Chains A and B, each alone.
Chain A
Amino acid sequence: MIRNEKKPKLTAVKTQAASAQCEEFSVLLAEYWEGDATAGLRSEIERHARNCPACAQLFESYRLTIRACRIARDAPAAPPSHKQLWDELFRQIKALQDYLDK
């Protein structure tokens, strides 16, 4: 995995072909992280990231963004108490029923 590499080897200058690959790399990141990429494609993505510093950075920050969202998930927002919510809902449901019964 790219993230285990201490320092990816840098390619000196991006060629036109490398740029096209980089464009594709960005699109394929989603497939990689959603588990849709085949083993072959995964290796190809990892190989490209090892050889392209810009894509390695994109790969890492994309991974960290997903992880950051998971950290947020671990701390759910504090909802109102059940009693508070249900009392209000019950009042409004009753009002709706009374209106419909008329």
Chain B
Amino acid sequence: MPGDKRPATTGQLDALPELKKLPVPDTVLVERVKQGSSEAFEELVRRYEHKVYNITYRMLGSPEDAREAQQEAFLRAYRFLPKFEAKSSFYTWLYRIATNVSLTKLRRRKEPRTVSLDEPLGEDGSGSLEIPDEVHTPQTEFKRRRLREAIQKAVDELPPDYRSVVVLRDMEGMPNEEVSESLGISVPAVKSRLHRGRMMLRERLARYMAEYD
């Protein structure tokens, strides 16, 4: 692989050493990767590996699948980076790749764990959705852990298109505009899928919480 073609620092930068401590913008790193710098790509990986793993893990619900998808997402990003035109930010483009890789894996699963969109939601409203208090005691931590398990199980059952929106918006905290860019759908479509996804999640979550009681 060709070596790093970092531009030499100017005298001005040498006079202001604190400027050198500022993180190099993604756009600059992307240009360096395009010129063949593996160090620049490693820095991009370092910046986004956690977020990408979180997305693939929430989407796939299995650490092993999530690791594979994370790796595949970065490899695809590297491969297609020369075509990346910076119309969106690098990270939304990367999240889009990570989501698509996860969706492809979900669709390839022999026994999909998702339920039909036509399935009626909730029968008798049974099951309580108890959210632990903000204070951190052994009891609330225990409840939180169970709640997280219940959420992941409930998310695993969402149809892929709803799952991706719920994961990016509610579980990863991305703004609707970034979710829209990451998934290549309009903001109104994001909101509509998010609402339906939340309604489904709400029913399933209540059911799992009832199982724990």
Contacts and interface: CB of A to CB of B under 8 A. Distances in A.
Contacts of A89: 45, 71, 74-75, 78
Interface string B110-127: 000000000000000100
Contacts, number: 111
B124 to A, nearest CB: 12
Given A64-B129, A93-B75, A93-B78, A73 B45 contact: no
B198 interface: yes
A71 B49 contact: no
Interface in A52-102: 57, 61-62, 64-73, 75-80, 82, 85-86, 88-90, 92-94, 96-97
B195 interface: yes
Contact residues on B (Cβ < 8 Å of other chain), bracket: 35 or more
A38 B67 CA distance: 43
Contacts of B50: 76, 79
A26 B199 CA distance: 9
Interface residues of A, number: 36
What DSSP secondary structure best describes chain B's contact surface? helix
A68 B131 contact: yes
Interface in B121-177: 125, 129, 131-132, 144, 147-148, 150-152, 166, 170-173, 176
Overall SS of chain A's interface: helix
A83 B131 CA distance: 37
5 contacts: A71-B131, A71-B144, A77-B66, A79-B70, A82-B46
